[in-house]
Amino acid sequence: MAASIRRSIPHVVMLAYVVVILVPFLFVLLSSFKENNTEIALHPFGLPKSWEFGNYKEAWIKAKINVYFFNSLYLALTSAVAGVLLSAMTAYALTRMRFNRASSWIYQFVLIGMLIPGNVLFIAQYLLVQKLGILDTHWSLFLPYTAGALPFSVLLICAFMRAIPFELEEAAVVDGMGVFRMFFRIILPLTVPALVTVFIVNFLGNWNEYLLSFFFISKDALRTLPSGMVQFRDAFQLNYALVCTGIVFSVLPVLVMYAFLQRKIIEGLTAGSIKG
């Protein structure tokens, strides 16, 4: 009896944690369909008297959520793809090519980036972006997003690539393959689980990033969803239903991606850690 109780404790703790996470989202989701603030205040977790789907249309078009949404989608996708490609090339050079001691030093230098909190680099990034003349453009976010994802991405992909037998490359060299063909036709396909994991993690990180997008972008037409939500909240702060609708738009894509791709994330992380 005591053993079964001990085994059930972790499940109870995890269930409580899930409830704590889901309750605020349930409140926001239900409130987004309600008619006015009074209904939200009197029945915070009750079902709406009438389901106001028009809130979503109003927030999407009138409040420019569509603009912020597609800006975030564009930047999150392009920087995640660029980060994956650059990380894979770097990992290939560090694990499959030989620079004697230099490769080890370069690898350690790249990993140092994981030890530096992103906020510490904010002033330096701002000054650099300003001097490059790309402030208030999407380039000011694309470059930091791509570069900031490199340390973790290189670490994970390196761990995966080290497990690939060198005999495959030796056979490819005998067949007359060059370095680029070998990378794109042999190494890259074998590294797909790690690449998918890195892409998902980088995409979600870029999608949720707020600090840089708020300070580097001042044009409303270029804002991403996290920084645009601040403007949205200020404009509709007396309409809680619309504010909750905007929150749903910002959270729902992340929840959907985790729901369908969480197994890929776990597989990539586990395979990389075991093979490394």
Residue 251 forms part of a structural domain: yes
Residue 28 forms part of a structural domain: no
Residue 77 forms part of a structural domain: yes
Total count of domains within the chain: 1
> Cβ of 133: how many Cβ atoms within 10 Å?
10
Residue 47 forms part of a structural domain: no
Alpha carbons 47 and 275: distance in angstroms, whole number:
49
CA dihedral over 126, 128, 131, 137, signed as positive or negative: negative
List the alpha helices (DSSP H) in 113-191.
122-132, 139-148, 150-161, 166-174, 179-182, 188-190
Q: Which domain holds residue 78?
A: 63-275
Whether 273 has a pLDDT exceeding 60, the answer reads no
Q: Could you tell me the pTM of the whole model?
A: 0.82
Residue 19 forms part of a structural domain: no
Alpha carbons 36 and 25: distance in angstroms, whole number:
18
Convert the pLDDT of each residue in 198-255 to its tens digit: 998 899 899 989 889 989 998 888 999 888 888 776 666 677 888 888 888 888 888 8
Alpha carbons 221 and 219: distance in angstroms, whole number:
5
> Cβ of 252: how many Cβ atoms within 10 Å?
12
Convert the pLDDT of each residue in 16-69 to its tens digit: 888 888 888 888 888 888 888 788 888 888 888 888 888 888 888 877 888 999
Residue 43 forms part of a structural domain: no
